[in-house]
Chain A
Amino acid sequence: MFDNANRIRDLKKVQKYYFAAYDLHLFLDTHPFNKEALKMYSAMIEKAKAAQLEFESKYGPLTPFFAAYDTEKWNWLENPWPWDSLEN
Chain B
Amino acid sequence: MFQYNKFLQYPVNIKNPNPKLASFIISQYGGPEGEIGASLRYLSQRYSMPNETTKGLLTDIGTEELGHLEMVGSLVHQLCKNATTTQIENSPMAQYFIDHGKGVYPVSASGVPYTAAALSVAGDPIADMMENLAAEQKARAVYDNILKVCDDPDVRDVIKFLRAREVVHFQRFGEALHTIQNAPKQKKYFMGNKS
Seen from chain A, the residues whose Cβ lies within 8 Å of a Cβ on chain B are 8, 11-12, 14-15, 18-19, 22-23, 25-27, 29-32, 61-64, 76, 81-83, 85-88
Contact = CB atoms under 8 A, between A and B. Distances in A.
B57 A29 contact: yes
Nearest to B58: A29
A26 B168 contact: yes
B12 A26 contact: no
Please classify the interface of chain B as helix (H, G, I), strand (E, B), loop, or mixed, using the class held by over half of its residues. helix
B10 A82 contact: no
B3 A64 contact: yes
Interface residues of B, number: 32
B8 A82 contact: yes
A12 B11 contact: yes
Given A11-B11, A30-B176, A88-B15, A82 B6 contact: yes
Interface in B1-49: 3-15
Nearest to A80: B6
A50 to B, nearest CB: 15
9 contacts: A12-B11, A15-B8, A26-B61, A30-B176, A32-B53, A82-B74, A83-B12, A85-B78, A87-B15
B5 A29 contact: no
Interface in B134-192: 168-169, 172, 175-176, 179
Contact of A63 (B5, B9, B14): B5
A82 B70 contact: yes
Contacts of A76: 6
Given A83-B78, A85-B12, 17 more contacts: A8-B13, A11-B7, A15-B8, A19-B10, A22-B64, A26-B57, A26-B61, A26-B64, A26-B168, A29-B56, A30-B172, A32-B53, A63-B4, A82-B74, A83-B70, A87-B15, A88-B82
